[in-house]
Amino acid sequence: MIKELCVEMILILSLCAVGQSVEPIFPYKYNVEILPNDLKVITIPMESNGIVAYYSVTRAGSRDEWEPGHSGFAHLFEHMMFRGTEKYPGPMYDKIMTGLGADANAYTTDDYTCYHLNFVAEDLEKVIEMESDRFINLKYNEPEFKTETGAVYGEFLKGRVSPWYVIFEKLYDTAFDKHTYKHTTIGFEADVKAMPTMYKYSQSFFKRYYRPENVVLLIVGQIETVPTLELVRKYYGNWKPGYEAPQITPEPPQTAERTAEVSYPGKSLPILLVAYKSDVYDPGNRRYVAALLLEQLAFGENSDLYKRLVIKEQKVEFIASNFSRNRDPKLNEIYAMVKSETDIDYVRDQILMSLEQFKTEPVDESRLNDLKKNLKYRFLMDLDTPDNVAGNLANYIAITGGIETVDQLFSEIMNITSTDIQQAAQFYCVPEKRTVVILRGVE
Amino acid sequence: MKTKSALIIFWGLMSIVCLSNCNSKIDESRCVLLPVNDDPTISFRIYFKVGSQDDPAGKEGLAYLTAHMLTEAATQTNSYDEIIAKLFPLAAGYEASVSAEMTVISGRVHKDNLSTYYPLFADAILKPAFNEDDLSRLKSNILNYLENVLKYASDEDLGKAVLYNEIFAGTGYGHLTEGSIGSIKAITVKDVQEFYKKMYNRQNVIIGLGGGYDYATLESLQKDLHKLTAGKVNAGVKAVPYEIQGLKITLVQKNANATAMSLGFPINLTRDNPEWYALAVANSWFGEHRNSSSHLYQVIREARGLNYGDYSYIENFPGGGRRQFPPVNVARHQQLFEIWIRPVPNDTRHFVLRATMRELRNFVDNGISEEQFDLTRDFLRKYIFHYAPTTMMRLGYAIDDQFYGIPGSHLENFRAALDTMTVADVNEAIRKYLQYDNLQIVIVSNEAEKLRDELLNNSPSPIRYATPKPKEVLEDDKQLENYPLDIKPENVKIVDVQDLFF
């Protein structure tokens, strides 16, 4: 069974030498079906030793928490969705899922919440029945709701011990004034603490966002598309549309650099975070795509800055980055853990100087080609199991609502030139888009 | 005459040298192979029989540092930044994993890129440069982990680290793989060189190779790794932990906004013993890792909402917060039973400890029911399909099979055992291997002295919920809030977080 999968991968991977026209990059055949209720279903059959990955990509994340005082509800729903329905109350749901031996979990990001299961193919119908039931008929009472909010607050406390949580919370709060990206995914502490009193609001949240138009099903692995779709129609067909879009206030353009400092109630080396306002994810926006390459060229492990600060001078424990791939314009983030308090300014200056260099000097073509080759091989080598395929696609699906964007993105990546990189640096990496946050431990 | 004799001896020596160096290779009995002919990638796992239990006294962390000096540092051929630059376009790399008894250097590459990758991979193992600069960088990383990250950024990992150090104190397992602050500072390039020379010898290596490799790649590995110095097989020593008497409590005092707990005791059972499978079923019911099917999870999180999860283990399970399935290549000959209570609000810590101990007692005294057994067995039959989805993971399991001397495959044996096992087998394994009288308990919390007094006095620990709870939960709580724990003053110690890992 593994054999067929691998043959397919060889065929595709052998095409991906840099410089060739290589569309499409995505190696598997897939089918996209939209049900009459607007539920989109993407099926990707692949040989996988009888395993199926089933992802319900729900396009409601912390971004969608637009009403003041209600941050954290998208993540709370990640919990509530395991509380059962009238047909399958919580304990029965748990018992059935246990019997399936499924690897079932969920996660929440700023743009979406993803419910994912891996299971053996013979259980496909049962999984579709159970998953559809909880998305259509989720039911929980107020005491159950309150109990789950306790677990969420426990998760908040667990996360709060990390300096990374502390600094990113400060970054978003500083960089954004109006947009819901101002809060982290788990939410403001006051809101999380107040959750037990918001049972009714939670029901409204579910009714507005957990609708077929706002969910994409992604089913990957040992499946056949036609019978799978028949099952999906059977169990999801009566799910009524009714999605209400959030009223998110766009973030006004930033006009000047922002800075902040934050204390961490423990011991930590200083952390420096430099972030720039970005654009919405758009593979058709050449400048945006060029910025994704700039990230790797300037701050990746193979960058001159990494080699200087981490390997040669050893001024930082590490430097890393995360450039925005979001539904709305978010941040291109660069962060470093600095070994000595006295080097914070130096490291900051080095980051800024590196970006200045990318603005003025075209990047070497061979480095750009190495990066393109790296991105392709990295993407394709990760597509070796149904869960890895689905996991790698989920973010793209959540942001754009579909899978086509993957080929568009990689096609555009292959076309990026050193001039594009320069222009991206010149456009995004300017002081008026910048927020700098420094964290220091207090112990 | 003299010259001629000398020449004959010289040519004789040459041929011997050629026989051993030109034609010799690692024997196939020490190759763990998992060919997947059409797999476009090749997976390497090179296993050395060395681990942190081999660290010399005062140089704890040496095994860890040495392995990382192979994979995150220069070779005699390339500087570290040159290695990064060469690996980068391949989207490939290699890494070191070190545990108490195992070190594995692993990497994966696409076939297209093998010719560039292989020399880099082989050089990492065969021609490390052991530069002072690289050592200084890696020591700094470890010290940051020990001084800052472990003590302050993850109370759960902190609790587990202290639990292992306490349970295995005085044995080769009784220190962190990463060593201690003092020992890491003391390690020199010379220490690394000598450790490498002694432990990374050709008798001590097992080749793991999987995926779409060809015979030539296997043969290259066999020949190249034979160039390692001659030496002895590291037989390894099974750690013999001291006998825990009663409930031993270590309270880690820190300014914590929630309380993390870890509990455990050594068990004389490893997966090469057929009874392991029965105990694995029992443990899955009691505390399956990151599953709501865990009984402890049901009691503490599901019914009461006191934390984020509660699990138990019958094998070492490092990195539990970051993985869903058991890790590979952390095998050890001495295992432990471990309970992981994720952080709870400080004012519920005594109550949660009582609940945990009561549930453990009920589990040991009563075993599991036929219905619970059936459900857990059904769960595991399918769940273990997810343990090794990739060639790399399957290769890891195959190497662990070699470590334990398991005929066939552990995962296949596990499935087969489920078919013949009875609930009586499971309950017998519980009775034989588990108990609740003699445990090490580690609690990371604030106001440690107050907690110590409450524990010693068996003070009532009534619990007040912010949210309403069903009547049966509240009635059960009344039992739990006075559930007695027999803790002797001499068995309780308080350590300040600042004083750990020196």
Cis peptide before A24 (omega within 30 of 0): yes
CB contact under 8 A, A99 and B379: yes
The shortest C-alpha distance from B383 to chain A (Å) reads: 4
| Domain edges within chain A | 2-236, 258-441
Which of A124, A134, A147, A271 best tests the B interface by mutation, with the highest count of B CBs <10 A? A147
CA B499 to chain centroid, in Å, comes to 24
Structure tokens at B95: 């890494």
Residue of chain A nearest B37, judged by CA positions: A3
Helices (H), A272-343: 286-299, 304-306
pTM: 0.92
For B112, which of A13, A118, A302 is closest by C-beta distance? A13
What percent of chain A clears pLDDT 90, i.e. is strictly above it? 86
How many of the other CB atoms lie within 10 Å of CB of B445? 25
SS3 call for B211: strand
Chain B positions touching A150 (Cβ under 8 A) are 304-306, 465-467
CATH T-level fold of A258-441: Cytochrome Bc1 Complex; Chain A, domain 1 (3.30.830)
| CB-closest option in B91, B324, B381 to A101 | B381
Give the pLDDT confidence score for residue B2 in this predicted structure. 39
Give the burial string for A169-199 (b: 16+ CB within 10 Å, else e).
bbbbbbbbeebbbbbbbbbbbebbeebbebb
Nearest to B500 by CA among B153, B175, B24, B276: B175
- Tens digits of pLDDT across chain B (502 residues): 334 444 333 333 433 333 344 459 999 999 999 999 878 999 999 999 999 999 999 999 999 999 999 999 999 999 999 999 999 999 999 999 999 999 999 999 999 999 999 999 999 999 999 999 999 999 999 999 999 999 999 899 999 999 999 999 999 999 999 999 999 999 999 999 999 999 999 999 999 999 999 999 999 999 999 999 999 999 878 899 999 999 999 999 999 989 999 999 999 999 999 999 999 999 999 999 999 899 999 999 988 989 889 999 999 999 999 999 999 999 999 999 999 999 999 999 999 999 999 999 999 999 999 999 999 999 999 999 999 999 999 999 999 999 999 999 999 999 999 999 999 999 999 999 999 999 999 999 999 999 999 999 999 999 998 778 899 999 999 999 999 999 999 999 999 999 999 9
Among the partner-chain residues B153, B293, B467, the one whose CB lies closest to the CB of A146 is B467
Cβ contacts of A306 within 8 Å, gap of 6 or more: A299, A300, A319
Q: How many CB pairs under 8 A join A and B?
A: 207
**Which residue ranges of chain A lie beneath pLDDT 50?**
1-22
The C-alpha atoms of residue A109 and residue A59 are separated, in whole angstroms, by 10
Dump the DSSP string for B301-332: IITT--SS-EEEESS--TTGGG-SS--SS---
Angstrom distances, CA of residue B57 to CA of B52, B101, B166, B171: 11, 16, 17, 11
Compare CB distances from A314 to B136, B344, B466 and report the shortest one's residue. B136
Rg of chain A in Å (alpha carbons): 23
Contact A316, A436 (CB under 8 A): no
Query: Is A317–B141 a contact, with Cβ atoms under 8 angstroms apart?
Result: yes
Q: Are B501 and B150 in contact (CB under 8 A)?
A: yes
- Determine, for residues A94 and B293 on separate chains, whether the beta-carbon distance falls below 8 Å: yes
- The partner residue sitting opposite A100, judged by closest CB among B325, B345, B382, is B382
Q: Which two tokens stand for residue A226?
A: 């036609």
In whole angstroms, give the CA distance from residue A393 to residue B125.
Answer: 36
Return the percentage of chain A with pLDDT > 70, whole number: 95
CB atoms closer than 10 angstroms to residue B474: 12
Residues of A in contact with B374 (CB under 8 A): none
- The number of C-alpha atoms within 13 Å of A363 and in the hemisphere containing its C-beta is 31
Q: Taking CA atoms, what residue in A is nearest to B259?
A: A158
Alpha helices in A272-364 (DSSP H): 286-299, 304-306, 344-360
CA distance A441 to chain B (A): 9
The answer to whether B268 and B352 have CB atoms below 8 angstroms apart is: no
Residue A44, beta-bridge partner list: A220
Domain A2-236: assigned CATH number: 3.30.830.10
Q: State in words which class domain B27-225 has.
A: alpha beta
Contact A334, A275 (CB under 8 A): yes
Residue A90 is predicted with a pLDDT of 85
**Residue among B112, B148, B154 whose CB faces A269 most closely:** B148
Identical fold for domains B27-225 and B247-499, yes or no, is yes
Q: Domain-by-domain residue ranges, chain B?
A: 27-225, 247-499
B247-499 placed in CATH 3.40.50.1110: no
Task: For A16, name the nearest residue in chain B, comparing CA atoms only.
Answer: B112
Nearest-CA distance A244 → chain B (Å): 30
Q: What is the pLDDT of residue B74?
A: 98
Say whether B467 and A150 touch across the interface (CB within 8 A).
yes
